[in-house]
């Protein structure tokens, strides 16, 4: 009898462990790991600056995951120990959220894990200008440095695009296009959108 009780107890522990693992896997479901960024390529800085321009016309060619991973890392990835980022924030507050709208939905960029986290299902690109992808930069309304932080991010994006040959344009119009459907962190708003794609 004691052996049966012991076996049942062990089975209970095993089953509880399996449930915890299943829950953890469910929590991770939907996340998309991006290819590791290629930090060795690209044009020299002065050449990228010379090529940086706003372009409002995009081809239908999709932006590959490697290019997207490179872009998002350049915008808001971790480039040093201690979780320090490719763009500065006042007192290293890191109070910025970067979303990317693609054909398969709107995703939050997790720069620490270099992954996309699902934020909104559906294709909203037409509402954002129709580019193959659009970055949305969100930050707290009550942070006096939010505009400065976002400016640093979209400058990184523009330089990466110039280096990689991608067309891009920074826009305030359309920043509120997803206000009623995209759930942001409390107190945040989308300040700027950044349509990106290959030039026509």
13 and 37 both lie in a single domain: no
pLDDT of residue 41: 82
Domain that holds residue 9: 1-30
26 and 51 both lie in a single domain: no
26 and 67 both lie in a single domain: no
pLDDT tens digit sequence for 33-90: 999 999 998 899 999 999 999 999 999 999 999 999 999 999 999 999 999 999 999 9
58 and 127 both lie in a single domain: yes
Instruction: Specify the 3-state DSSP secondary structure of 67.
Output: helix
Candidates 103, 89, 79, 174; CA nearest to 136 is 174
pLDDT tens digit sequence for 146-191: 999 999 999 999 999 999 999 999 999 999 999 999 999 999 999 9
Half-sphere exposure of 135 (CA within 13 A, CB side): 31
Q: Enumerate residues 6+ apart whose C-beta is below 8 A from 142.
A: 187
108 and 22 both lie in a single domain: no
Q: Residue 27 pLDDT more than 90?
A: no
1 and 85 both lie in a single domain: no
The CATH number of whichever domain residue 190 belongs to comes to 3.40.109.10
pLDDT of residue 173: 96
Q: What angle do CA 122, 76, 184 make, to 5 degrees?
A: 45
164 and 190 both lie in a single domain: yes
36 and 17 both lie in a single domain: no
2 and 47 both lie in a single domain: no
pLDDT tens digit sequence for 99-112: 999 999 999 999 99
75 and 6 both lie in a single domain: no
Instruction: Specify the 3-state DSSP secondary structure of 85.
Output: strand
Number of domains in the chain: 2
The whole-angstrom separation of Cα 16 and Cα 12 is 6
Q: Are 95 and 141 in contact (CB under 8 A)?
A: no
1 — pLDDT class (breaks 50, 70, 90): low
105 and 170 both lie in a single domain: yes
104 and 189 both lie in a single domain: yes
């Amino acid at each position: 009898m004691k052996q049966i009780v012991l076996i049942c107890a062990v089975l209970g522990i095993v089953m509880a462990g399996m449930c915890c693992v299943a829950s953890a896997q469910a929590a991770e479901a939907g996340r998309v790991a991006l290819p590791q960024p290629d930090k060795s390529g690209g044009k020299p800085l002065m050449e990228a600056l010379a090529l940086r321009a706003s372009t409002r016309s995009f081809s239908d060619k999709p932006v590959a995951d490697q290019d997207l991973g490179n872009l998002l890392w350049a915008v808001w990835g971790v480039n040093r120990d201690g979780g320090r980022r490719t763009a500065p924030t006042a007192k290293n507050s890191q109070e910025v959220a970067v979303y990317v709208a693609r054909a398969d939905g709107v995703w939050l960029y997790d720069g620490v894990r270099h992954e996309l986290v699902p934020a909104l299902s559906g294709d909203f690109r037409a509402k954002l200008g129709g580019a193959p992808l659009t970055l949305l930069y969100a930050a707290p309304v009550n942070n006096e440095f939010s505009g400065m932080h976002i400016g640093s991010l979209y400058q990184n994006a523009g330089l990466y695009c110039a280096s990689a040959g991608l067309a891009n344009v920074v826009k305030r119009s359309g920043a509120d296009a997803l206000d009623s459907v995209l759930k942001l962190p409390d107190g945040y708003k989308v300040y700027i959108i950044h349509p990106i794609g290959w030039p026509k």
